[in-house]
Amino acid sequence: MGDYRGFWVFIEQLQGRVSDVGLELLGKARELADATNTYVGALLLGDFSKAKAKELISYGADKVYLFSHEKLATYHSLAYTKLVCQAVTQEKPEALFIGATPLGANLAPRVAAQLETGLSAHCVDLRLGEDGILEQIVPGFGGTMMAVIICPEKRPQMATVMPGVFPKPEPQDRQGEVISMAVEITEKDLVPRVVEFKAKEQKTVALDGASVVVCGGYGMGSKENWQLLEELARLLGGAVGATRPAVDEGWAPEEVMIGQSGKIVHPKLYIGAGVSGIMHHVVGVQDSEIIVVINKDPNAPFFQVCDFGVVGDATQVLPAFIGKLKERQKRACDFLSIETPQMNEGPYSPDSKGDSQ
């Protein structure tokens, strides 16, 4: 075990753009490495120059292992697995972190199987135990508790982590090195291959980065009632999210699912309507500034973690919310349409200390 040292991060990229989840994991790896007096390695595969790879140093990497080749510009599962395993076998990192994305879900188990090591999927935290062994935290047992997974006898320790779980670090002026790795692949390594990329049309506000998220659960009851969430989100300038049961019912697309196997969000305001609040979902919203929960079950677990709770049927409460918002917006519009005095005259002057605020 003493031969293994360093925390590595696989840096996911798509069409030459580095994904945020890789940078987020670099920040966490930096924290773990500083606590154990070791280094952070970034593993980058693609058609990149050394200058581009150096940018990862500013996000926390000490060493960037660069596999640069035009054939690696798009993801090839066999080639990527071969080269990642080659680098890990050669350099012996203590741990390897990969984003829990569709690409990561394909790559990570392949790498773990070839290296004959363990893999914890969809982690929501990574920390060091008293003995220095990496503890990988995942919701477990039906979402009622957090499970701690360790890999005491195999190296590297491997984990996939959801995008958004850790904050993206601010780039800093740091020193590090880029190590060019030999790319030895054959045509057999390049099948299957990506034929075409198609971007989905974004018709609504994206969940990523939304300051307001309105999320619906199974308690919404039907696809028709889902329109209440969309209207409330529109009035608040927010995005609509969903729990897995709502997605399974076909009320919302899978790409707006929030939780351990969906998206992690950090809005200023989260409203959960008809959401019971099992752990698998709560981990996806727990860093929201304000959490509002609407549920007709007063014993719903979500009421234990929310800031404000409304006990009631969401399909009846939401129309009242919407009505109040529309009424308030109308009053604001009516106020703005009133002809007001010049700002340098009377009670509305900038120097006024009356009730103009």
How many domains does the chain fold into?
2
pLDDT at 354: 39
Q: What is the C-alpha R_g of the chain?
A: 24
pLDDT at 351: 43
**In this structure, are 157 and 267 located in the same domain?**
no
pLDDT at 344: 44
Task: Classify residue 345: in a domain, yes or no.
Answer: no
How many residues comprise the chain? 357
Could you tell me the CATH number of the domain that includes residue 95? 3.40.50.620
pLDDT digits (tens, 9 = 90+) for 327-342: 887 776 655 555 444 4
pLDDT at 78: 94
pLDDT lower than 70: segments of the chain: 1-2, 140-144, 199-205, 332-357
pLDDT at 94: 93
Strand 290-295 and strand 17-18: the pairing is: unpaired
Separation CA 206–CA 340 (nearest Å) = 38
pLDDT digits (tens, 9 = 90+) for 98-109: 999 889 999 999
Which domain does 123 fall in, by range?
A: 7-190
| Structure tokens that stand for 126 in this block | 């990574």
pLDDT at 107: 95
**In this structure, are 98 and 16 located in the same domain?**
yes
Could you tell me the CATH number of the domain that includes residue 276? 3.40.50.1220
**In this structure, are 79 and 131 located in the same domain?**
yes
Q: Which of 317, 40, 5 lies closest to 132 in space, CA to CA?
A: 5
Sign of the torsion formed by the C-alpha atoms of 312, 315, 320 and 324 = positive
pLDDT at 250: 92
